[in-house]
A and B are shown apart, each in its own frame.
Chain A
Amino acid sequence: MGGPAVSTVDTRVKLGGIALRNPVLTASGTFGYGAEFAPFFDLARIGGIVAKSITLEPRQGNRPPRIAETPAGMLNAIGLENVGVDAFITEKLPALAAGVVVVASVFETEIDRYAEVCKRLSGVPRVAGLEINASCPHVKSGGIEFGQRAEVLAQLVRATRRATSAPLLVKLSPNVTDIREMARVCEGEGADGLSLVNTLQALDIDIETRRPVLSNVLGGLSGPAIRPVALRMVWQASQAVRIPICGIGGIMNAEDAIKFLICGATAVQVGTANYLNPLAALEVAEGIEAHARRHGVARVADLVGTIEVPAR
């Protein structure tokens, strides 16, 4: 697609009411509260950051071991360790430079607590939008994930939608039979956009001890290993709903991110790559712009949903 190379590219996109200077955000849980990356690059040069998921009260998280390496990926069961919503607002947000777009990620164990966190974040000037983490697979409390049952997901989105007028994204779990059904539920309840996917529920074993490698037994699989699965789900969801989608799953470089845009994602989040390459998100943003320029695409938004499926 596209024509001859263009000299300037408009990289701006709009994600469910959140204006982004380029389509690259960082995935919740992989970027701390942002300040940890300030020594490496100017965070205002990427689209935005999705902060670590916060709960009403601070949480300490799981006992070690919390992570393990797997083929082209990793398992984690951190247990949503976080500083709590109040410290997030009073300590973490002010530490970020003015131009940084911040999306707050919300996690809780009960629906009314989710709504309460959303309420406290509403109207906080530095919060550009909220992302509801409906999918964390490794917290025992609550058992099954909110995002795994359509009626529970509907209740969650309804309650958080009522609690805030801020742009509301819902981060979906990939651990479902039909991602399209979950996407439609969120759209029907008033979500402004979708983020997908979260980690895939997974297990690994040490054959000498015959024990699971993580203290929590199950963990979330992330990294390049899950990218084709994530891409498939983004494509399916984008065909099922009209609200914008933020694609996530094993994005290591600009080429990976462009695949998500082509499959219908309006923006992307870089996750696990931040660990091994603290400049990953910036390099993805620059790489997308360079690709658009080379291919004569004047607006990055014009790449979205340009998948060409041959007639069968």
Chain B
Amino acid sequence: MKESAQLALPLRVDAEVRENRAEGGSNFRLRLAVAGWPGAEPGRFVMLSPGARGAALRFDPLLPRPMAVYRTLGVAAPPEIEVLYKVAGRGTRLLAETHAGDRVRVVGPLGVPFAMPVAGRRALLVGGGTGIASLYELAARAAQRGPVVVMLGARSEAELMGCDDFAALGVELRIATEDGSRGHRGRVTELLEAALDAGAGGEAIYACGPTPMMRRAAEIAALRGRSCQVSLENRMACGFGVCLGCAVPRADGSIALVCRDGPVFEAGQVAWAGLP
């Protein structure tokens, strides 16, 4: 993805938790008031340190966690951002224990955003699990340029997130659950295949979710000679290109940093077999 000179510069701020809501499964929706928040282009992310109170940071666990900015609620003052996450380890468990009024340290916005679809072209957005968090602002902005189809997948209906938010954007919403409890029974990438085969061609394809899902979306796109933008995840200590911990191999053998060169990549540039 091309770097844009106009990207908002990151800031570090101790944000206040406005709401931290369980959303089914082990999913949560965190809403933070972030003083000075400059907004985030679709696909950018923040580093969050759970449990920071005042100036004192928690040192165990030590590292902040990268999280996509689901959306910015610009009407509030200070601006509020929402983050969707799944409890997967110590860091996210601590985040799940925060309550309204608690402080969470935010560094961001960070990373390279999605490239927007060409005006008038249909955009196909494929999201799995909490990966859908990277796609909401993209769907909102793409919908101003042309038709948008959002395909959301999860294991079961209980683990689906954000359906109402996406529907409210006026985009076409298609659902897949592995157990068939809602929408298509099967994988969300099967919806992508069907959409591409039924479509007129020329669609812009975007995918974000578990690595096997994005890899499959990339294959489906490549088989049809199409490009696809994906948003990768990785462990990282800083989020702004200095720890060099989030290195991933590119298809050409070089190394990319997920935080600085991504998280958005052209799927064809990623050496999928070499991802951690």
Contacts and interface: CB of A to CB of B under 8 A. Distances in A.
A275 B259 CA distance: 13
B55 to A, nearest CB: 8
Contacts of B248: 64
Q: Do most interface residues of chain A lie in helix, strand or loop, or is the interface mixed?
A: loop
Contacts of A60: 254-255
Interface string A18-38: 000000000000111000110
A66 B60 CA distance: 20
A81 B242 CA distance: 11
A120 B133 CA distance: 48
B235 A73 contact: no
Interface stretch (A102-110, A171-179, A237-245, A276-284): A276-284
A72 B12 contact: no
Contact of B242 (A64, A223, A252, A275): A275
Contacts of A69: 61-63, 235
Contacts of A81: 244, 247, 255
A249 to B, nearest CB: 14
Interface in A36-63: 36-37, 39-40, 60-63
Interface residues of A, number: 35
Contacts of A224: 59-60, 62
B60 A78 contact: no
Of the four ranges (under 10, 10 to 19, 20 to 34, 35 or more), the interface on chain B belongs to 35 or more
A40 to B, nearest CB: 6
Given A61-B255, A64-B247, A81-B255, A275 B63 contact: yes
Interface in B1-39: 9-12
Given A39-B10, A63-B249, A276-B237, A71 B105 contact: no
Contacts of A68: 235
A74 interface: yes
Contacts of A2: none
Residue of B12, B246, B248, B274 ringed by the most chain A CB atoms within 10 A: B12
A63 B240 CA distance: 19
B49 interface: yes
A11 interface: no
B64 interface: yes
B12 A40 contact: yes
B249 A67 contact: no
Contacts of A62: 247
Nearest to B238: A275
B244 A64 contact: no
Contact of B247 (A31, A66, A73): A66
B243 A76 contact: yes
A32 B236 CA distance: 14
A276 B57 contact: yes
Contacts of B59: 72, 223-224, 252
9 contacts: A30-B242, A39-B10, A64-B246, A66-B244, A66-B245, A67-B246, A73-B62, A275-B63, A276-B64
Interface of A: 30-32, 36-37, 39-40, 60-69, 71-74, 76, 78, 81, 223-224, 252, 272, 274-279, 283
Given A276-B57, A276-B105, A277-B12, 16 more contacts: A30-B242, A36-B242, A39-B10, A60-B254, A64-B234, A64-B248, A67-B236, A72-B62, A74-B237, A76-B243, A78-B245, A223-B62, A272-B62, A276-B237, A278-B10, A279-B12
